[in-house]
Amino acid sequence: MRVSFALLGALAVSSYALAPPNGHNPYALIGYGKANPIGPTTGGKGGKSVTVSTAEDLLAAVKGNEPLKVYVKGSISLPSRLAPGSNKSILGVGSTAEILQNGISVVNQTNVIIRNIAIRFILDNDGITVQNTTRVWVDHCEFESEFSQEVGPDTYDGQLDIVRASDWVTVSWNYFHDHWKSSLVGNSDVLRDVDFGHLHITYHHNYWRNEGTRGPAGRFGHQHIFNNFYKDFHYQAIHSRSDNQVLVEGNVFRGDTREALSTYGLVIPEDSPNTSPEGDFEIDGYANLGAKNDWGPASINITQVGDFTEAPYKYTLTPLRQVRQVVKAGAGVGKVKL
Ligand SMILES: *[C@@H]1O[C@H](CO)[C@@H](O)[C@H](O)[C@H]1NC(C)=O
Ligand SMILES: *[C@@H]1O[C@H](CO)[C@@H](O)[C@H](O)[C@H]1NC(C)=O
Ligand SMILES: *[C@@H]1O[C@H](CO)[C@@H](O)[C@H](O)[C@H]1NC(C)=O
Ligand SMILES: *[C@@H]1O[C@H](CO)[C@@H](O)[C@H](O)[C@H]1NC(C)=O
């Protein structure tokens, strides 16, 4: 496995900085969700398809580990969290598939795809939690709640939190907006023994707008963060702490964005002002910069450079000057026909 991984790494170098991903399948899966030691994420591929439009049918459809493609039609208010089994694709139909009231928890599973669904206003919990789960692809979804001082950081929890030794995940072309704490990777600094060596995640071509913190915030893992567009990510976007490593390249930051990237271990007071008004001290993380980023008005604070200098797979970077346009046009629901 080590050998083929090294080969993938060599391929990555030659594909660097070519044209934007506008070939025959611009939205194909790339990154750790595809290229990893246990195999690509395929979800319900090879299984039957079912279309659901009620909470009852949706909750029932995702059970078990049989490969299945579950098409979700229209707006569904869930009375409890959706808990998909392994080998599932959960795919929104058109541009109106939406989940309200309760989000999705993918726990102890493998091989789950969630695409083209809006997840909105999930009170007191995450939009999606990925826990102790390998091979996940979250693509072309929209995550929305509210961002304001009145609402605060804890009315809603994370938008997409990936925790407890989860691994081999790609988060692509999502539209995260109007929310305080976006995407947490590793949910406690005391879980070093559980998390360390896992949490390999690729974040690419996501659009983050009007958010507070965690775009993403990682502990103990490796995240490759490229070609994302950040607008008004108010306090701190990328945070790498507790020995986490990030490879950050080709991202663009605009608007009221104070800090684009930090490896300083302090969990800033704005992250959890209700519980930690002074912030929380953890040890620092690491960051490497690949292809040029456009930090716009934001600052960066890299206290440690790591050894995550190259992603072990093939990918094509969108030219920096096109990132804003390409991401805004391509991210979110209704952009991909499934
Ligand atoms: C589905 O997922 C399980 C893991 O829970 C795996 O062992 C199994 O091989 C998969 N089943 C099929 C039919 O692909
Ligand atoms: C996940 O696995 C752990 C450990 O086996 C177990 O305690 C827990 O109940 C499982 N959770 C779910 C939702 O299956
Ligand atoms: C993780 O999930 C596996 C099943 O996939 C289970 O055997 C294991 O106990 C779980 N571990 C934890 C810490 O939940
Ligand atoms: C940057 O990191 C250093 C620690 O190396 C810390 O003293 C400083 O306060 C940080 N700057 C900001 C703006 O957080």
Spans of all domains in the chain: 5-330
Task: Report pLDDT digits (tens) over 239-276.
Answer: 999 999 999 999 999 999 999 999 999 999 999 888 88
Least confident among 19-33, 204-218, 307-321? 19-33
Nearest CA to ligand 4 atom 7: 264
Nearest to 331 by CA among 184, 233, 230: 230
* Catalytic residue list: 214
Residue 336: which residues within 8 A CB-CB, separation 6 or more? 27, 115, 116, 139, 140, 173
Extract the tokens encoding 285.
């993380």
Least confident among 4-13, 172-181, 292-301? 4-13
Q: Above 90 in pLDDT, residue 17?
A: no
Ligand 3 atom closest to the CA of 194, numbered from 1 = 13
65 lines ligand 2 (CB under 6 A): no
Give the class (CATH, top level) of 5-330. mainly beta
Ligand 3 pocket test, pick from 108, 110, 131, 195 with the greatest ligand atom count within 8 Å of Cβ, gives 108
Question: Looking at residue 246, what is its pLDDT?
Answer: 99
Interatomic CA distance for residues 286 and 63, integer angstroms: 39
Question: Looking at residue 2, what is its pLDDT?
Answer: 35
Which whole number is the average pLDDT over 8-17? 36
Q: Above 50 in pLDDT, residue 15?
A: no
Nearest to 109 by CA among 130, 128, 81: 130
What's the 146 CA to ligand 1 centre distance in angstroms?
Answer: 38
Q: Above 80 in pLDDT, residue 187?
A: yes
96 lines ligand 3 (CB under 6 A): no
Q: Above 50 in pLDDT, residue 144?
A: yes
Which whole number is the average pLDDT over 36-65? 98
Ligand 2 atom closest to the CA of 105, numbered from 1 = 13
Q: Which ligand is nearest to the CA of 260?
A: 4
Q: Which ligand is nearest to the CA of 86?
A: 1
What's the 264 CA to ligand 4 centre distance in angstroms?
Answer: 6
What's the 110 CA to ligand 1 centre distance in angstroms?
Answer: 8
Question: Looking at residue 36, what is its pLDDT?
Answer: 98
Extract the tokens encoding 336.
């991909």
Nearest CA to ligand 3 atom 2: 108
CA angle, residues 331, 108, 242, in degrees to nearest 5 = 70
What's the 195 CA to ligand 1 centre distance in angstroms?
Answer: 23
132 lines ligand 3 (CB under 6 A): yes
Q: Which ligand is nearest to the CA of 107?
A: 2
Question: Looking at residue 21, what is its pLDDT?
Answer: 52
Which whole number is the average pLDDT over 134-140? 98
336 strand-pairing partners:
none
4 lines ligand 3 (CB under 6 A): no
Ligand 2 atom closest to the CA of 132, numbered from 1 = 1
Question: Looking at residue 318, what is its pLDDT?
Answer: 97
Q: Are 82 and 106 in contact (CB under 8 A)?
A: no
Q: What is the pTM of this model?
A: 0.93
Question: Looking at residue 23, what is its pLDDT?
Answer: 60
* Other Cβ atoms closer than 10 A to 28: 11
Q: Are 179 and 147 in contact (CB under 8 A)?
A: yes
Question: Looking at residue 151, what is its pLDDT?
Answer: 92
Residue 310 corresponds to which amino acid?
E
Q: Above 90 in pLDDT, residue 18?
A: no
Q: Above 60 in pLDDT, residue 282?
A: yes
Q: Above 70 in pLDDT, residue 14?
A: no
What's the 165 CA to ligand 3 centre distance in angstroms?
Answer: 9
Task: Report pLDDT digits (tens) over 80-115.
Answer: 999 999 999 999 999 999 999 999 999 999 999 999
Proportion of the chain above pLDDT 70, given as a percent? 93
Least confident among 6-20, 83-97, 140-154? 6-20
